[in-house]
Amino acid sequence: MVASHLAMIPSEALGALAVLAERAFAGRVLLSFLPPGLPGRHGPRDLPATWAASHLLGSVALLFEQELLLRVDVNPTTALFLAPWLLLALARWITLPGAMVPRHEPLSDRPSPLARVLLLVSAVGIVASVALRHAEFDHGAAVSAANALALLALAAFGLAAARRAPVARALCVLALAAALAAAIATDHAEPIELALLLGGGASLAVPWLRRGDRRAVAIAVVAFGGVALLGPRPTLIGAAGLFALRVHTPAPARPGLTFAAVIVLVACAAVGYALPGSPSARFVLAPVGVATLFVVALALSTRQRLALARAQSADAVPVPPRAIDPSRPQAGIVRDIAVLCIVLFATRDEFASLSGAVDALLPLAPLVAVGLGLLLAPDESPFAASAPARPEPRAAG
């Protein structure tokens, strides 16, 4: 019976689902090797973020593997693709217990029925836009849908980590879904892959800056560094994300983060476009653009240093405690990434035409949605802050 139903599914659809399964499997294996933290749970509330992080990691890892095999003139087959990840999965299984998720669940309000409906509408809108644009569910349709849905899940995860009100963060996700669905429906879906890496990295930076989640920052570094696999211009975008992440990271953690960021970015850039005939990075940005980016980056770094000095001075003055810490400090990294990207696009004259402006600004859509949610969305109910944490049993990461 099952075989007869499978025979009725077009081979293109089966191939597309297999591609998504490969990405999720490879990414989930990598996720288990990262430091303890979130995402990583498999409960109904946590599964979307876990799948989204796995999809992001798997997309970067498999693209890196594909480009590396092409450089050594090896024909990448499915069996060759999956062999390393099967071995890593076996190694993780043998060495259990693996990485741990937190023993106590981070405090957060449960989404209300209205918030759940808004999130469902967001997901349905993405699927509907893909169905309207693609007559068949092929590889392109599958990747577009999966990238967009993963981006929505990561944006929701970041806003939940910042403890924004469930309905407010669901509205931000809905606005992001509308922008992505419009891009897919108007045949501008190509920048969504860049938007996933850039927006996913910014969203995962929120739990790192808010509660020191090492797993979240590890995924963010891979997301920003993995942008370099897409070409010289995206490399500058990924470097902007890593620079902002370093500027906003507390000083004791900066050396380790900087080392990891440089390794990931250089490795992805070398594999991504160090092939014969690939464009050189020196043709991506004129010297005037390089100087402009340097000045803007220096100004943002100085601004953050002064803001930290003011915050330390303010800590000496007693103020009434808040049930929930403000999310404005985490909005700073999202703002700085957006500023650096806009300066980069402007120096490259990418706003000269409407089509070019749409393709350039679409990767910034998740930054706008998450940034507005961090700045404008109200806090969760303070009752969640006083509720006892639910014990979490040991689980493999």
Instruction: Kindly tell me if the per-residue pLDDT of 275 is higher than 80.
Output: no
Give the C-alpha separation, 231 to 379, whole Å. Answer: 39
**Which amino acid does the sequence have at 143?**
V
Give the C-alpha separation, 156 to 204, whole Å. Answer: 10
The answer to whether the beta carbons of residues 19 and 137 sit under 8 Å apart is no
**Which amino acid does the sequence have at 23?**
R
Q: Is the pTM above the cut of 0.85?
A: yes
What SS3 class is residue 255?
A: helix
Q: What is the pLDDT of residues 259-271, one digit of tens each?
A: 999 999 999 988 8
Hey, what are 114's tokens? 């209205």
Instruction: Kindly tell me if the per-residue pLDDT of 85 is higher than 90.
Output: no
Q: What sign does the CA torsion over 88, 91, 96, 99 have? A: negative
- Percent of the chain whose pLDDT exceeds 90: 37
Q: Provide CB contacts within 8 A for 270, sequence distance 6+.
A: none
Low-confidence winner among 63-67, 220-224, 273-277 (lowest mean pLDDT) = 273-277
Hey, what are 39's tokens? 């995402």
Give the C-alpha separation, 155 to 200, whole Å. Answer: 7
> Counting every residue, how long is the chain?
397
The answer to whether the beta carbons of residues 180 and 391 sit under 8 Å apart is no
Give the C-alpha separation, 381 to 40, whole Å. Answer: 25
